Copies of this chain bind each other. A is one copy, B any other.
């Protein structure tokens, strides 16, 4: 099992691609009385939920890709930590559907809290996966301590902000959801910045 991460990457890509495409099944054809346009407009919570989860999974896929570029080989604990991460990814369509069904109802607080809470779990597993990589000595030799510290800090921030968003959801669900979404912007920004540093290891190959 001391092999290159190629096949894990392919399997993970498959799971990411399927999870992101299944999201659309959550949006059901409207069957109301007030005409089709009214029915389509009334689905706005579904569109928001779909859009948010799509962007989050897309960013995760990019980040997973970036992370695995730092990995030179995989071992058994890595396979299961990665599998645990995929579990939290395949779970996303469910809180997404819960959010869509309840965002315009009195249960909005619970729905947003559940949605954000799912990402707390997901963010914790990203930390677990990175810890597994570092402890198992799976990093490429050219990944320096500064990069490791940077990734770790980013993942800690992720957990913290998602916890904050979950807590906020109980008081002001709209704000909780906005905070959750704002993390996407942070991550995309981090990606841009790291483009010139983190990704350099393989750039010469």
Binding site for B on A (CB under 8 A): 1-3, 7, 9-11, 13-25, 27, 29-31, 35-37, 40, 50-51, 54-55, 58, 61-62, 65-66, 75-76, 79-80, 83, 86-87, 90-91, 93-94, 97-98, 101-102, 107, 110-111, 114, 188, 191-192, 195, 199, 202-203
Contact = CB atoms under 8 A, between A and B. Distances in A.
Contact of A107 (B25, B36, B54, B98): B36
7 contacts: A1-B66, A11-B16, A11-B61, A14-B14, A29-B98, A31-B101, A55-B83
Given A35-B107, A110-B36, A62 B79 contact: yes
B27 A24 contact: no
Interface SS of A by simple majority? helix
A11 B11 CA distance: 11
A20 B90 contact: yes
Nearest to A195: B1
A2 B58 CA distance: 19
A129 B30 CA distance: 31
Contacts of A97: 29
